[in-house]
Amino acid sequence: MAGWLRNLGRMAGPKVRKGKWLLQSMTGSREDELRAEHDVGRDMAAEVRRQMGPGDDPEATRLVEAVSKRLARCVTEKGRTFQVEVVQGQTPNAFALPGGFVFVTRPLIEVCERREAELAFVIAHEMAHIMRGHALDRVLSDSATSVASRAIAGRTGLGAWLKHVGVRYVAGAYSRDRELAADALGARLADAAGYDREAAVRLLARLDRLRAQGLADALGLGEYFASHPPTEERVREVRKAPPV
């Protein structure tokens, strides 16, 4: 593992090399790990903004910022910071990058009917992917494939890797188990922030109705349903997660 990380670092640049080493080192402090993870995510977040463009709806931006700040105050690991942004997009989506960066498209905000509690579950779910290490694991494992193919040879930073693989790659779903784990932790985080957990159930039920009505593909949700666990499993996970 250590040899692979050194090779990845040589090809992907000094910032990434330092970040990977700190994240694997037993001598680095937790503060060092979080700072290194943030550096990795910052490079990627800049590329997301370049590819997708910032959101152009001030009201949606204010809503997302208010919800994300309320959720972040309830994260117990205070060394962790989060930056949640609205970006352009034709389909409903939200995704997380290492280091606390979360992106939400306006179509997803509309699917939530701009309801704060429903949006809170969406954002908390993505924050959970970061806190559980899912976003970082994806980069650590999948960067190896890109580097091995020499797709970013001679470039620096993970922004170059993301430019090569595209935002759609990092915006895809995780494994079934990881999605359910993010649902559970996301529900608990929303709980802690004072949001009604049943709002998550209502959102999931609405998504299921859209699919039953044959509207999922028209709204761009077809791929979402294909890559996420069945709704009944997600509802069960949300409801059984112990209260904070």
pLDDT over threshold 60, residue 102: yes
pLDDT of residue 61: 96
Q: What is the mean pLDDT of residues 163-181?
A: 80
Q: What is the mean pLDDT of residues 91-95?
A: 87
pLDDT over threshold 80, residue 171: no
pLDDT of residue 115: 96
More confident: 235 or 170 = 235
Q: Which long-range contacts (CB under 8 A, 24 or more apart) does 179-183 make?
A: 179/228, 179/229, 179/234, 180/229, 180/233, 180/234, 180/237, 181/128, 181/132, 181/134, 182/125, 182/126, 182/128, 182/129, 182/132, 182/134, 183/125, 183/128, 183/234, 183/237, 183/238, 183/241
Q: What is the pLDDT of residues 182-225, one digit of tens each?
A: 999 999 999 999 999 999 999 988 887 877 766 556 555 555 54
% the chain with pLDDT above 70? 73
% the chain with pLDDT above 90? 43
84-93, 137-146, 179-188, range with the lowest pLDDT: 137-146
Q: What is the pLDDT of residues 8-21, one digit of tens each?
A: 334 444 455 445 54
pLDDT over threshold 50, residue 137: yes
21-25, 43-47, 70-74, 239-243, range with the lowest pLDDT: 21-25
Domain count, the chain: 1
Cα separation, 131 vs 166, in Å, equals 23
pLDDT of residue 181: 94
Q: Name the band, by pLDDT with cuts 50, 70 and 90, for residue 23.
A: low
Q: Name the band, by pLDDT with cuts 50, 70 and 90, for residue 158.
A: low
Q: Name the band, by pLDDT with cuts 50, 70 and 90, for residue 103.
A: very high
pLDDT over threshold 90, residue 78: no
Tokens of 98: 């290492």
Contact 171, 126 (CB under 8 A): no
More confident: 29 or 97 = 97
Range of the domain at 210: 2-240
pLDDT of residue 152: 38
